[in-house]
């Protein structure tokens, strides 16, 4: 494959909007080589945001495998969502540290064992960031949450089977939670 036939070249970038969560840019790009007869660049929208982490915290006890999850309000969907803990990387923070921090802040648990199980672009058509997925095991309770001022979450323990059976239906409506669950399932198989 000749990649040059697919790659667009950015000639200019203009900031359209900026807030604490993301920046929106207009990206002025020239088309690939096979469409080089166009002189004017096309304008594309790009959303820049810090990377995110999502943590799948697993407790294995006499009741079997359970996930520690959080209920929270989602303004975009205007509904409650039942999710794995997660959040935004702080500037300069590495994904592992962010995963441990977000798990501790939202749930009050810290992992003795944590490992990365995947990384995706949430929407590469318009977003520049990545989401990093982690599996957290051997969890120890700190006894308290450390929530942000605008963060309201309720911690719950949900049986693994209930999450697997419920994913894709309310209250499991967050698409990235489905991705996290798929990565968890892949990494829970023998020889993974």
Dump pLDDT digits (tens) for 63-81.
Answer: 899 999 999 999 999 999 9
The residue ranges of every structural domain in the chain are 3-48, 52-188
pTM: 0.91
21 close to 127: Cβ distance less than 8 angstroms: no
Class of 52-188 in CATH: alpha beta
Give CA–CA dist 43/8, Å, rounded. 11
pLDDT tens digits for 92-117? 999 999 999 999 999 999 999 999 99
pLDDT of residue 34: 55
User: Residue 45: how many CA atoms within 13 Å on its side-chain side?
Assistant: 8
pLDDT tens digits for 34-68? 555 566 889 999 999 999 999 999 999 888 999 99
């Amino acid at each position: 494959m000749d990649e040059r036939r697919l790659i667009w070249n950015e000639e200019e970038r203009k900031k359209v909007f900026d807030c604490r969560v993301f920046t929106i840019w207009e990206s002025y790009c020239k088309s690939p080589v096979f469409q080089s007869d166009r002189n004017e660049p096309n304008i594309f929208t790009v959303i820049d945001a810090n990377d995110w982490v999502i943590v799948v915290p697993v407790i294995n006890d006499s009741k079997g495998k359970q996930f520690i999850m959080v209920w929270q309000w989602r303004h975009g969907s205007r509904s409650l969502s039942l999710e794995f803990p997660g959040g935004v990387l702080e500037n300069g923070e590495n994904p592992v540290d962010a995963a441990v921090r977000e798990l501790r802040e939202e749930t009050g648990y810290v992992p003795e064992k944590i490992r990365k199980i995947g990384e995706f672009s949430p929407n590469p058509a318009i977003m520049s960031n990545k989401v990093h997925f982690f599996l957290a095991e051997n969890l120890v309770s700190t006894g308290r949450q450390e929530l942000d001022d605008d963060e309201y979450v309720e911690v719950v323990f949900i049986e693994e089977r209930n999450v697997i059976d419920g994913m894709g239906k309310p209250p499991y409506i967050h698409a990235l939670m489905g991705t996290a669950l798929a990565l968890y399932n892949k990494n829970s198989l023998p020889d993974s």
